[in-house]
């Protein structure tokens, strides 16, 4: 066994895939998830895929006593903090809830980690911290900004984590914080088993689940938000990354932090993307080719807050974490469709 990783938000979309990859890489996994945007069934299915039991705690990461109990029951070597609320539109309507959940869960987690002498943390950040980038591809040293409350929670947490790591350096603590801020581009796809995948509540906001729900007959027609962007076909361009590649990036980040010199403090950001931009029309056409399904669509107004193009320069993660995205667009489409077709109602099936 390589070590034990506490995964907050491990019942969620990316967290459940990360648990599979961690277990397959030889880690044991403990999950804390209050199930506010997920189902316990995802944890059962991770166990089914890996054949390994998982310690699951249905706790809120803001509850200090509960979190302390978990650290006292397990010898935790590193933490991956996925737990958070992520809906951009909702964050504009109930920002206080977003700030409370996302910031306080991180602050409490840091407090408990300090008390329990755990100093390695991987944090789920987002390409949203680049705001409206002036050029593409985007490198980690680009200026940071946010265009909505959700994005600001990610930006603020990154700043807090940098301050905490710097404080450990200034105070010359024996085992200072070692932090990887992973900035995800657009996660899509599902595990190849078709047993775990993305299960959004209500009507999806994001492109990939919208397309797959049109294909399965849950939704009528896709609206493509804007066909007059200065891109190769006029539709928005993004860096779609297979969720299993993304999950493997977390394993690499944990490996990296666990092998660092114990006396060194560190807080670095890494882009997790493929480095390739794909347009909305290319996504729709590839989905149709790969799955044989027809996707009805119409062109609609641009969605406020959208940028024309957003894709990563992932060189830093390639070089330092020794991580590369391996799966292609066809894999993303095939795996999304297998999950959607086998689970038309998500985990309720
Ligand atoms: P998700 O909603 O599927 O997973 C998040 C999990 O955290 C859920 O299972 C939820 O129940 C849990 N959770 C939320 N608040 C909690 C709390 N206070 N205590 C305990 N559990 C809590 O989302 P996801 O897509 O898997 O995203 C995981 C992380 O990655 C989030 O922090 C999100 O902001 C970030 N992220 C996601 C994307 C994306 O496109 N999916 C992109 C960039 C960043
Ligand atoms: C969105 C969020 C971003 C968040 C990310 C992951 C916004 C403005 N941005 O990113 O903060 O980190 O999700 O959760 O909400 N599209 C359509 N029709 C649809 C849905 C999307 O044409 O029904 C287009 C969009 O205009 C965009 C592309 O598809 O060009 C991808 O959209 P989406 O999947 O929502 O991701 P982002 O906008 O990149």
Of 19, 31, 37, the residue with max ligand 1 atoms within 8 A of its CB, to mutate for a pocket test, comes to 37
pTM above 0.95, yes or no: yes
- The CATH homologous superfamily of the domain defined by 3-348: NAD(P)-binding Rossmann-like Domain (3.40.50.720)
pLDDT, tens digit (0-9, with 9 covering 90-100), for 127-183: 999 999 999 999 999 999 999 999 999 999 999 999 999 999 999 999 999 999 999
Given a cut of 70, whether residue 7 has pLDDT beyond it is yes
Average pLDDT over residues 240-263: 98
Q: Which long-range contacts (C-beta less than 8 Å, at least 24 apart) are formed by 339-342? A: 339/190, 339/191, 339/194, 339/195, 339/196, 339/197, 339/198, 339/212, 340/197, 340/212, 340/213, 340/215, 340/216, 341/194, 341/216, 342/194, 342/195
- Ligand 2 atom 1: the closest Cα is on which residue? 206
Nearest residue by C-alpha to atom 15 in ligand 2: 88
- Per-domain boundaries in the chain: 3-348
> Mean pLDDT lowest for which of 30-34, 100-104, 116-120, 302-306?
302-306
Does the pLDDT of residue 349 top 80, yes or no?
no
């Amino acid at each position: 066994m390589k070590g034990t990783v506490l995964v907050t938000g491990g019942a969620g979309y990316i967290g459940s895939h990360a648990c599979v990859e961690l277990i397959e890489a030889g880690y044991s996994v403990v999950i804390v998830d209050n199930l506010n945007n997920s189902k316990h069934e995802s944890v059962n299915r991770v166990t089914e895929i890996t054949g390994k039991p998982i310690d699951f705690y249905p706790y809120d990461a803001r509850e200090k006593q509960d979190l302390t109990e978990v650290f006292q029951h397990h010898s935790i070597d590193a933490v991956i903090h996925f737990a958070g609320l992520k809906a951009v539109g909702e964050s504009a309507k109930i920002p206080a809830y977003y700030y409370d959940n996302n910031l306080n869960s991180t602050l409490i987690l840091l407090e408990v980690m300090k008390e329990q002498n755990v100093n390695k943390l991987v944090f789920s950040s987002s390409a949203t911290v680049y705001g409206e980038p002036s050029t593409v591809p985007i490198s980690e040293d680009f200026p940071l900004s946010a265009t909505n409350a959700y994005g600001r929670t990610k930006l603020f947490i990154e700043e807090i984590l940098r301050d905490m790591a710097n404080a450990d350096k200034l105070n010359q603590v024996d085992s200072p914080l070692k932090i990887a801020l992973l900035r995800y581009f657009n996660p899509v796809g599902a595990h190849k088993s078709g047993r775990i995948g993305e299960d959004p509540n209500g009507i999806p906001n994001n492109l990939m689940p919208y397309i797959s729900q049109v294909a399965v007959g849950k939704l009528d027609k896709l609206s493509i938000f804007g066909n007059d962007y200065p891109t190769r076909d006029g539709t928005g361009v993004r860096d779609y990354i297979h969720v299993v590649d993304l999950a493997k990036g977390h394993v690499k980040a944990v490996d990296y932090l666990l092998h660092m010199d114990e006396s060194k403090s560190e807080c670095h950001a890494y882009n997790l993307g493929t480095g390739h931009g794909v347009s909305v029309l290319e996504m729709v056409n590839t989905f149709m080719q790969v799955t044989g399904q027809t996707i009805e669509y119409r062109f609609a107004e641009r969605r406020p807050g959208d940028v024309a193009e957003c894709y990563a320069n992932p060189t830093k993660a390639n070089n330092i974490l020794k991580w590369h995205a391996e799966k292609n667009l066809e894999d993303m489409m095939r795996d999304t469709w297998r999950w959607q077709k086998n689970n038309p109602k998500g985990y309720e099936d």
